Amino acid sequence: MSKEFGFIKNGVLIVDDDKYALEEISEALSDSELVVYKATNSDSAVLLAKKFKPKFILMDYNLPDANGIKTIEEIRTFLPKVEVIMMSGHEDFIDKATLNNTGSIAVLKKPLSLETISRYIHNMLHL
């Protein structure tokens, strides 16, 4: 596990309160290149981000204790350059304003294509 600019170079934090989706995404991303961390709520996401400093975060918009945008805003206070992919099952959430406001590289609609998520993360690793 190498560090680059304070980040775990290949660290990915997945935040989703749907435990089935969380495990499915985690399994799809678990390979020799990635270190995967998992959280089911905003508080856990912030603690894990502080501790492990992942390079990427896949953030669900609807969490039990906060929305994903507020969580990302808090994480960006100590990891301002973390790459974010927002996820949501709400049709009206997916728009360019949300993409710009969260500084996300993508906003994906649930249910997710595991191939799409994997492709985004792996493409970003090799830039």
Q: Which CATH number covers residue 13?
A: 3.40.50.2300
- Scored b (16 or more CB within 10 A) or e, 3-12 reads eeeebbbbbb
Domain hosting 86: range is 3-125
**What are the residues whose beta carbons fall under 8 Å from the beta carbon of 118, sequence distance 6 or more?**
28, 29
pTM of this structure: 0.84
Q: How many domains does the chain have?
A: 1
Digitized pLDDT (tens) for each residue of the chain, 127 residues in all: 444 444 456 889 999 999 998 998 888 887 667 889 999 999 999 999 999 999 899 999 889 999 888 899 999 999 998 989 888 876 555 566 666 666 777 777 777 778 887 777 777 766 5
Beta bridge partners of 66: none
